[in-house]
Amino acid sequence: MASEQRLASASTWILLLVALSAHLCRGDSSITHDDLNTPSQPGCDNSFVLVKIRNWMNDVEVTELVGVSARFGEKISDINVALDAIPLAMPSLVSSCNTSSIPLNGHAALVRRGECTFTRMARTAQAAGANALIVVNDKEELCKMVCSENGTFTDIQIPSVLVPKSAGDILEAGLLRGETVKILMYSPKRPIIDISEIFLWLMAVGTVVGASFWSALTAKEAALEHYRSIKEGGDPDLSDADHDGNKDVVDINVMSAFLFLVMASVFLLVLYYFMSQWFLILLVIFFCIGGFEGLQTCMVALLSWWFPRAAGTYYGVPFLGAVSGLSLAVGPFSLLFAVLWGIYRNHSYAWIGQDVLGISLILSVLQVVRLPNIKVSTVLLSAAFIYDIFWVFISPLIFDESVMIVVARGDKTNGEGIPMLLKVPRLFDPWGGYSIIGFGDILLPGLLVSFCLRYDWSTKKRLFNGYFLWTAVGYGLGLFWTYIALILMNGNGQPALLYIVPCTLGTVFLLGWWRGELITLWNKGEQVPPLEDYVNSSQIDEHPDRSS
């Protein structure tokens, strides 16, 4: 059993470190981007907008393509009406750097990216009568079509869009086959709020609240077991922490809280510089191990209420030691679930398995790692608060891009980000995608909320007179303000702890100061009251030890 706990503890700490390394509430999912590095010029001041390109070949609609609009020319409409589709044609000179011998009246010109500038391509196509310009990039990445020379570009009136090489190959192949190709370019707006964000909010808040009650119940059972041992002649000077050593509970101290954030910064840089497909696979393996451990722990804890005998019967297992019969029963299912998710993680339905494994992992971590007082919580959450601000907003000044956003988006792994996050597909978003929240945005404030409930129970505080309810409300409110910031910032990635930490830690400080309990919270934290104040002998007898 000890070996099993050490394995779970090691994988838990590794995953907690990775989860904190990149834990945006939502990655950079905006469809509109401005370029502050390119000076605005007359006729060259458009924002870069993602564009959908519907296309028909011989009046049969095929796969929709995606490109990005230019900084110049007419802005792309958000209207999607098939009647506005226009035929596509290729100029006689593929690069379109010179005048085309083929008239393009009423057509959209399809050209390959050549040696001349984007603005010259647009002017040439417009002079030939084209209604729009599609430029095919020479690689899969999308670049920004800017005005490379100084001047005025108000004469360019047609919309211009850059598409990746594969998309251009599809359109060109249809034209070379002699098919009639028509296109419709539009840029639909994202809804202000998607129902997926509501589901994600409920999942995050529900996970924190559920983990808090589980942590408090575990602490209460440990206290009852301690008092029972005293009643049976055990050492009354033995602390709960010593008595509960087999539970593998870890209390964070000030030094470990500070070092943990330093290690998270180092690991974030490692992900930023060395992230690759094989590195991602390694993280997926760690997530599967942690998810398996978490799912098994949660299932055993839940089923032990109905099958106490199986939970209290242990068997010797090579390399693992003593393992309960219930763990042996649910272990294969948990392992199969984690392995199947790892294999099919890129399928459209894989987010369900990821959320199940993720929530299970978070619940189990919040049983292993605990805060002893508000002093440690202040160090941990304040450091995380600064960490978030630095790596999201200040790191672009040093690295020319936001390190955390790059890692969270998975820019170096073909868009597949690290799996340490909860995700829900955006149901009413024409651009699709997911609403996401990183494990760190649940785990770190969850430690504080769990501490508050244990403190309330140990000091016999009522719900409205305690700290748990108001801190949980503060967490939900902080997450809500994060979504408001996402809307105001046009969907750009936001560090959730920037809003959650003041709403949770600030709530505890304000209530503690108002009630005159701040010193107790700061130094002592949760206190186990004397036996006669906490529970009487009859209550102890009513809770027999399940392991017997």
Active-site option among 388, 411, 533, 541: 388
How far apart are alpha carbons 157 and 453 in whole angstroms? Answer: 63
Which pLDDT does position 17 carry in this prediction?
60
Residue 509 domain flag: yes
Residue 157 has a pLDDT of: 92
The whole-number pLDDT of residue 545 equals 45
**pLDDT for 451:** 94
> To which H or E segment does residue 283 belong?
helix 277-303
239 belongs to a structural domain:
no
Per-residue pLDDT tens over the stretch 98-119:
665 567 888 999 998 877 888 8
- Residue 308, phi then psi, degrees to nearest 5: -65, -30
Nearest alpha-carbon partner for 379 in 228, 165, 522: 522
pTM > 0.85: yes or no = no
**Are both 138 and 86 inside the same structural domain?**
yes
Domain of 54: which CATH number?
Answer: 3.50.30.30
- With respect to residue 303, please indicate whether it lies within any of the assigned structural domains: yes
Residue 276 lies in a domain: yes
Q: Do 179 and 199 fall into the same domain?
A: no
CA distance 141 to 133: 18
Which residues, including other chains, have CB under 8 Å from residue 547's CB and lie 6 or more apart? 311, 312
What is the number of domains present in the chain?
A: 2
Residue tagged active-site, from 441, 456, 533, 541: 441
Same domain, 89 and 143: yes
- Measured on CA atoms in the order 124, 152, 76, 83, is the torsion positive or negative? negative
Indicate if 194 belongs to the active site: no
- Same domain membership, residue 214 and residue 152: no
> In this predicted structure, what is the pLDDT of residue 271?
83
In a domain, 40, yes or no: no
Cβ contacts of residue 248 below 8 Å, gap of 6+? Answer: 5, 8, 9, 368
| Per-residue three-class SS string for 78-132 | CCCCHHHCEEEECCCCCCCCCCCCCCCCCCEEEEECCCCCHHHHHHHHHHCCCCE
| Cβ 27 vs Cβ 125: under 8 Å | no
The SS3 assignment for 268 reads helix
- Shared domain for 436 and 477, answered yes or no, is yes
Q: Could you give phi then psi for residue 61, rounded to 5 degrees?
A: -75, 135
**pLDDT score, position 179:** 92
* Catalytic residue flag (residue 388): yes
Parts of the chain with a pLDDT under 50: 1-8, 27-29, 94-95, 238-246, 528-548
Tokens of 163: 């598409």
> Where in the sequence is the domain holding 205, given as residue range(s)?
195-231+248-529
Same domain (yes/no): 225, 102: no
180 shares its domain with 209 = no
